Each structure stands twice: as C-alpha cells, then as structure tokens.
Amino acid sequence: MQFQKEVEILAPREKVWEFIWDVDRFIACVPGCKEAKTIDPGKRYAATMVEKVGPFKVEFPTTIEVLEREELTRIKAQATGADNKIGSRMKLDLDVHLREDGDKTILGFVAGVDILGKLAALGHGIIKRKADQVLDEFAQAVKTKLEGDG
Amino acid sequence: MLRRFRLEEPESVAEAAELLGRFGESAKVYAGGTELLLAMKEGLVQYERLINVKKLTGLSDVTSADGAFVIGALCTHHQLENSPVLKDKLPALTKLEQNVANVRVRQVGTIGGNLCFAEPHADPGTLLIALGAKMIAEKASSKREIAAEDFFVDAYETALQADEVLTKIHIPVPVPNARSAYLKFGYLERPSVGVAVAFNLNGGVSGVKIAVGCAGPAPRRVAEAEALLEGKSKDEALRHVAEAGASAGRAAQAISDLHGSQEYKEHIVGVLLKRAFQSALS
Amino acid sequence: MAKAMIKHSDTQWIPVSFTLNGRLQEIEVEPHELLLDVVRDQLGLTGAKLSCDVEVCGACTLLVDGRPVSACTTLAFEVRGRSVLTIEGLAQDGKLHPLQEAFIEHGGFQCGFCTPGMILAAKALLDENPNPSEAELKHFMHGNICRCTGYKKIIESIMAAAKKMRAKA
C-alpha cells in the first residue's frame, strides 16, 4: 500500500528538522506509538505501535532504521515490527522530504506499508483505511506541535 | 481449537451490562457467534470471558407497539425471514433476511449480533438506515435510542458504549403508500455492495431515504442523493436516478480491494440504486 | 485426537445432556469446545467433516432440533437440552433413508466429502418444505458446496427423494 501526504507547517525548516530528531516529541505524534527509545542516535530507534480497528487490536514492537539522511532535506527510514500474539508483521518504508516555501515548511512523505499475516484477513480495504488515518493524524499532529510551540 | 474462556450466562440485561462494565475488553457479548467465533478461531481476538446473552428474556420476538415494529436483538435471521408480521408490511426486510449468508448462519445468527459486530460486508444495517430504524441500547439502569444512521461509526465499530447491550430495534410501521427495496451485489462470500431505498409514493416521491453499505467501512445514509429525488414526480425522479446513483457512489467511501476497484464499486452503487428505485416503484 | 481429561479445580465444565441420533447422551464440555470436535473426536462420529472452518461450505452440517448448523462454528455446550442428528443417525435399523437411497440411485456424490452435510441439509429442507421448487431447493442448499458433481445430480437426487417421501407420507 502506498500513501502520499503533505502538510504545510508555519515554522522554519531548521525547526522542523530538529523536531524530527527529537525522538520523544516526534514519536508522540504517531497515533498509537509509545515507549520510544533511542538505540543508536541518528541510526536506530525502537518503539511500540498499538493500533485498534474495532475489537481488533495489534501491538507491534517496532524497530526503526534510518537508511539515508540529507541534512534539512530528506530522510529515508524503514520500520519493521511483528505481533506474535496475532501472527502478523508490519513493514513501513518512509521517505520524508522537507522544503521551504517562504516562511513555511512543506513536510511531505511517501509511505509504503505492508501488513503480512493474520491481520491481512481483515481485508485490504480496512487496513488501507486505517493506515491512511494514522498517517493523516500523524501529519496533523506534527503540524500542530510545531506551530503551537511557537 | 479455540483458546479457553469462561462462560458467563447473565439472566438480565442489567447483569449483562454489569459484567461488561466489570470485565471491559477482556469480555465480549456472545449470541449466535457466527461472526465472533470466526474471529476467535482466526486468533484475531481473544477473550477471557464470553457473555452468553441468549438467556435474556423478551429479546427474541417481533411485535408491534405505538406505530413501530419492535424486533428483539436476539431474533435470528431465520425468524425474521419468516415473520408473518414483517412479511406483510416490510417485505424488503424479510427478503433481505432470507438472503443473509446461508441457511446455517441464518439459523443461529442474530440481528443484534449482526448489527453490533458491524462487519462492513453485511446487509441489515443498510436497509435499517433507509427504514428510519432506531436501536435501543440498555445498561444497568438506563436506556437510550440510537438512530440507525448514527449507529454505525466505522468498520467493526458502533455507537454502543462498552457496557451497553443492544436490546431492541424499532422500525416505524410504514404508511400505506410507503415503498422500499434493498439490492445487493457480490461474487465473494460476503456482499460487495448494498443499496437500500425507501420513500412514500403519492403522485411524486417524498420522504426519500437512501443508504449505501458494504462498499465502505460502514453503511451510511446519502442525503446528497436523496435531495436529487426528493419531491419530484415519479418520471422526473426516474430521470434523475442516474445522477443520484453517481452521487451515492461517491459517498460510499469505496476502497479498491478484492471486492472490486473503487470505480467499479461506485458504478455498481449507481446500478443498484436505479434498480432498487425501479423495484420499489413497481 | 484423544483428549486427556485433566481436571483442574478451576476449569469450568458445562454438563451437556442431549439426544444424539435418538439416544440420550450426557457429557461434560469446556465452554470453548467446538461441536464438530466433540462429535468427531469424542463421540467418534466422523461423518461431519472439517473443511472450510468458516461456516461457508456446509461439510460440517449437523441438524440441531431438525435445523442445519455449522458444527465447526458452534460451541458444543449449545446443544444442551436439544436433539442432534448426524449422518450416522439417518438410516433406521439398517434401512437407508430415502435421501441416502436417492443419492446412490441418482449419482448425487463422487468423492463423498460433502455428502453427509449435503444429505442432512436436504433432510432439513424437505422437513420444512416437502415439495420445494428447484429455485427453493437451490436457495436452501446454496450453503452446501460440492467440488465434484456440478450439482445437477444432487438436485436430481433431492427431488427424487422428495417425490418418494411425499408418496409415502
């Protein structure tokens, strides 16, 4: 599943870039994400993703690897996780872009999400919708956090 | 093999609600089990307790009171399909019930369970929205009404609170010139698209209600499509039904998946709306 | 798969007293046990088959109080106080039921895997509607899937049995 999101943030690029690497504040923007840990600063992080669709709940202990980094411009990362209780695996390929637009920053990302295993039994439509929702909420949360903090 | 769970068998709605409140997410209401047991067998959900609600009394009948049909949540699809009360005044509903899943599911599956599990690919919710039905949700010491069009929040999610039990469904007794129809389409085990339409016919069409289900995460009423037909003469309405169908298709929130592409589902919504409307008129 | 009956003090056992093929049975089951497993593994009646496991194919069909259910998705305790009919209980005193005879005579089965469920579902149909139209038959039997016959012979068998049963009645 592919998703593309873009959000306009009323904050300078440097501030947005700084925010992304502030793991705790950043992770707080991902709905359902908790217990963020830095394993290798700038390279490896861990977190737990908890998502719910009606009565179906998944908990993915997730590892996030930063694959590429272009200062103030781009991040390529991959997150993988497995929920052994339900027997499902998750893989997220994330390409984040930052660009300046006057005094605004355009934060864009392209996300490739793969869900394997039992959870897929819920149906592609449900999962796609949920993933879309999570990514939307995430983008909005980043914007709100950055604009609100002044 | 299912994982072990404890069986609770409350004898009153208050007791059932109390158990739900006490055990929270580790307990689940169990009636016919035709959806729940499948999810449990798949390992998608796990519960420490199942709360068997089949011992609750007064929830397995179809009666009428104060101008409404009152359907107990424990009524099986088989009961509803054969209800003489409903067959006479709501043939669209008995026809729908007759075509739910297969004969074995209809035998034990309950209307309440179907509505509360809120599986997107289901039939009854869509028609109940078009018929202006109201769900009665009860707790230990309170009761409230939820309009069908507000009942389905998202896929597998209803407006019920964690400790509420769905007890009855009220459907207003249709007036003499009321018409309704439900059509569905699918080639997989569960329906891919379902469309319901209801209106009063008196020279023109009024009180139009249109609902679309299965294509999106939850059945929903489509006011935009209703507006295109409301108050028009029969012939004028028929001329606008394609437009209404396109509007309903867009409102269906369809997503491309095994059931079909988004465009295909939207197209089928239009086709079914036209046919359902024509069927209701005849 | 034989089950070791290890009784822990906090295990919940539900007494299930029911009629199985006309005879009273009294067993104890845990809440999570499925009817198909109990019938096949504990009671040794292997006519009902585990096939799709999602109540779609009908190979596990049993009659409970004369009505068809998916035994794969029925909790065993639900038959307490009820009567259960399996394919093994259809023949009486060694004499085949008209449906069984018709399926043989008209070639209503090939591999036989769907057949117990098919015949029990047909029995429930004819008990409810002794003279079904082909459309009514197809609607009722819609939930029983066969991979071998292409259904034509099944329909013929059921119609023939129905005719015989009506003549006898």
Mean pLDDT per block of 10 residues along chain A (150 residues) reads 92 91 85 90 92 89 94 94 87 93 91 87 82 91 82
Span B8-33, pLDDT tens digits: 999 999 999 999 999 999 999 999 99
Listed in order, the ranges of chain C carrying CATH 3.10.20.30 are: 14-89
Query: CA separation (Å) from B152 to A132, B1, B126, B269, C21?
Result: 20, 31, 10, 19, 43
Mean pLDDT of the region C109-118: 98
> B71: which 2 tokens?
């359907």
Mean pLDDT of the region B47-73: 97
Top residue of B192, B255, B264 to mutate, by most chain A CBs within 10 Å, is: B255
Mean pLDDT of the region B106-132: 98
Q: Which residues of C lie inside 8 Å of B (Cβ-Cβ)?
A: 12, 14, 30-34, 37, 53-56, 58, 61, 67-70, 73-75, 77, 121, 124, 139-143
Q: Is the pLDDT confidence value at C7 over 90?
A: no
**Which chains share 3+ C-beta pairs under 8 angstroms with A?**
B
CATH assignment, B6-52: 3.30.43.10
Least Cα distance to B73 among B141, B156, B16 occurs for B16
Nearest-CB residue to B7 (from C31, C53, C68):
C31
Q: Is the pLDDT confidence value at B233 over 60?
A: yes
Is B42 in Cβ contact with A56 (below 8 Å)? no
* HEC per residue, C76-119: HHHHCCCEEECHHHCCECCECCHHHHHHHHCCCCCCCCCHHHHH
Is C54 in Cβ contact with B102 (below 8 Å)? no
CATH topology of domain B62-172: 3.30.465
Q: What is the pLDDT of residue C6?
A: 61
Spatial distance between the Cα atoms of B253 and A26, rounded to a whole number of angstroms:
31
Q: What is the pLDDT of residue B51?
A: 98
Listed in order, the ranges of chain C carrying CATH 1.10.150.120 are: 98-168
Query: Whole-model pTM?
Result: 0.93
Domain ranges of chain A: 2-148
Q: Is the pLDDT confidence value at C4 over 70?
A: no
Top residue of C6, C7, C55, C56 to mutate, by most chain B CBs within 10 Å, is: C55
Mean pLDDT of the region B59-71: 96
In total, the C-beta contacts within 8 angstroms joining chain A to chain B are 51
Q: Are B76 and C108 in contact (CB under 8 A)?
A: no
Q: What is the pLDDT of residue B241?
A: 97
CATH topology of domain C14-89: Ubiquitin-like (UB roll) (3.10.20)
Chains B and A touch each other (3 or more Cβ pairs < 8 A): yes
Spell out the long-range contacts of A95-104 with Cβ–Cβ below 8 A and sequence spacing 24 or more: A96/A20, A97/A73, A98/A13, A98/A16, A98/A17, A98/A72, A98/A73, A98/A74, A99/A13, A99/A73, A100/A12, A100/A13, A101/A8, A103/A10, A103/A12, A104/A8, A104/A9, A104/A10, A104/A11
Q: What is the pLDDT of residue B31?
A: 98
Is A118 in Cβ contact with B42 (below 8 Å)? yes
CATH topology of domain C98-168: DNA polymerase; domain 1 (1.10.150)
Q: What is the pLDDT of residue C3?
A: 53
Reported ipTM: the value is 0.95
Residues of B in contact with A126 (CB under 8 A): 120, 155-156, 217
Is B255 in Cβ contact with A54 (below 8 Å)? no
Spatial distance between the Cα atoms of B51 and C67, rounded to a whole number of angstroms:
24
3.30.830.10, 3.30.390.50, 3.90.1280.10, 2.60.120.10: which CATH number matches B178-281?
A: 3.30.390.50
Give the CATH superfamily of A2-148.
Answer: START domain (3.30.530.20)
Chains C and A touch each other (3 or more Cβ pairs < 8 A): no
In angstroms, the separation between the Cα of residue A52 and the nearest Cα of chain B is: 10
Q: Is A99 on the interface with B (CB under 8 A)?
A: no
Residues of B in contact with C37 (CB under 8 A): 1
Q: Is B50 on the interface with C (CB under 8 A)?
A: yes
Q: Is the pLDDT confidence value at C95 over 80?
A: yes
Q: Is the pLDDT confidence value at C1 over 60?
A: no
Residues in contact with C60: Cβ distance below 8 Å, sequence separation at least 6, in sequence order: C36, C48, C49, C50, C51, C70, C71, C72, C117
Is C70 in Cβ contact with B105 (below 8 Å)? yes
Mean pLDDT of the region C93-97: 96
Query: Alpha helices, DSSP H only, in A1-150?
Result: 13-21, 23-27, 124-148
Q: What is the mean pLDDT of chain B?
A: 96
Mean pLDDT of the region B147-175: 97
Classify each residue of C3-29 as buried b or exposed e, where b means 16 or more C-beta atoms within 10 Å of its C-beta.
Answer: eeeeeeeeeeebebebbbbeeeeebeb
Spatial distance between the Cα atoms of C43 and C46, rounded to a whole number of angstroms:
9
